[in-house]
């Protein structure tokens, strides 16, 4: 019967995630030869190649992908065991990895700060990426929690709503738009600063314009909130963003949207497994922060 140790699983997973033996060694603080030797030992034990090796890339085989998925689950379970034992002693330790959708950092640092003050032994790691990427990372087990816009049902995952926000028009000082609520038709008469397709903000804005039966001229597309604000500030267009994001640019005007305003709900998603104690504690602080907002 084959027995693969947890440390060997960590090495194989690191190679798969970093795409190379050298990069995996840097992550694990091991020399490349030790990483290569560990992978070869596992392959001999299982009698199957886990990676296709080329000059430039190391890619998991079908067996390698199956191994990595199972290894992630085993490593997560081992972390839960260790964290549970430590928690039983009354001291919360460990680490939690949080995926954050781009543009949604918001009040997350305050929640993390509150948890760190309560549990200084917990290490929090942040990974910022597009929503689909952080959700995939949750499914793979490389991220414990993901803070994203809840734009639809995420199959196989638990969703916890944190807060609902209105979306507003963000306009420059010389836009000519009133401070009173405006319609999407009024906004569509101005050049529009859009976010790139696939972004949650873009999806909600597209949905609202479709519902209103209005077409807009998207003159600019960006994947950066600061860039969008700069374009608006320069008088090159208007955009629509959640009110919480618009508040970060007090020099720009925010205008309410009268009808068909896009919806915006922020939440946390995680897998349908018991959260490690550190992740559960952070989720409590996130819910507390949202409830006080």
Residue 206, pLDDT score: 92
Query: Beta-strand (E) ranges in 82-195?
Result: 94-101, 122-129, 145-149, 157-171, 192-195
Nearest to 91 by CA among 279, 288, 277, 285: 277
Q: DSSP letter at 283? A: H
d(CA 64, CA 84) in angstroms, rounded, equals 30
d(CA 134, CA 127) in angstroms, rounded, equals 8
Residue 1, pLDDT score: 44
- Residue 19: left if φ>0, alpha if ψ -120 to 50, beta else—which one? left
Q: Provide the pairing of β-strand 122-129 with 94-101.
A: parallel
Q: What is the pLDDT along the chain (293 residues), one digit of tens a residue?
A: 467 888 899 899 989 988 889 888 888 888 899 999 999 999 999 999 999 987 778 899 999 999 998 888 888 777 777 766 666 666 677 788 898 887 666 667 888 888 888 888 888 888 888 788 888 888 888 888 998 888 777 778 888 888 888 899 999 887 788 888 999 999 999 999 999 887 888 888 999 999 999 999 878 999 888 999 999 999 899 999 998 888 889 999 999 998 888 888 888 899 887 788 888 888 888 887 765 55
d(CA 192, CA 237) in angstroms, rounded, equals 5
d(CA 247, CA 257) in angstroms, rounded, equals 16
Burial class of residue 117 in the structure, from the number of CB atoms within 10 Å of its CB (0-12 exposed, 13-18 middle, 19+ buried): exposed
Identify the structural domains of the chain with CATH numbers, from first to last: 1-90 (1.10.10.10), 165-264 (3.40.190.10)
Q: What is the pTM of this model?
A: 0.65
Residue 228, pLDDT score: 93
Residue bearing tokens 């003050």 = 117
């Amino acid at each position: 019967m084959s027995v693969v140790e947890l440390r060997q699983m960590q090495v194989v997973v690191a190679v798969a995630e970093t795409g190379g033996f050298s990069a995996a060694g840097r992550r694990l603080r091991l020399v490349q030869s030790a990483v290569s030797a560990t992978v070869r030992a596992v392959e001999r034990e299982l009698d199957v190649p886990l990676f296709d090796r080329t000059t430039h890339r190391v890619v998991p085989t079908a067996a390698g992908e199956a191994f990595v998925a199972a290894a992630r689950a085993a490593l997560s379970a081992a972390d839960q065991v260790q964290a549970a034992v430590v928690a039983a002693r009354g001291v919360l330790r460990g680490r939690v990895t949080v995926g954050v959708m781009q543009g949604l950092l918001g009040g997350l640092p305050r929640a993390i700060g509150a948890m760190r003050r309560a549990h200084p032994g917990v290490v929090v790691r942040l990974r910022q990426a597009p929503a689909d990427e952080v959700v995939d990372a949750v499914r793979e087990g490389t991220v414990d929690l993901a803070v994203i816009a809840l734009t639809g049902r995420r199959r196989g995952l638990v969703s916890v709503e944190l807060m609902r926000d209105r979306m507003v028009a963000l306009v420059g000082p010389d836009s000519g738009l009133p401070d009173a609520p405006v319609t999407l038709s009024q906004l569509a008469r101005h050049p529009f600063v859009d976010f790139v397709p696939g972004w949650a903000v873009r999806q909600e804005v597209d949905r609202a314009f479709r519902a209103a039966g209005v077409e807009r001229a998207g003159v600019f597309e960006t994947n950066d909130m600061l860039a969008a604000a700069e374009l608006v500030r320069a008088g090159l267009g208007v955009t629509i963003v959640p009110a919480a994001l618009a508040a970060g640019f007090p020099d720009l005007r925010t205008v309410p949207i009268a009808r068909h305003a896009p919806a915006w709900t922020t939440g946390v998603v995680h897998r349908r497994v018991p959260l490690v104690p550190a992740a559960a504690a952070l989720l409590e602080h996130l819910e507390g922060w949202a409830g006080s907002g």
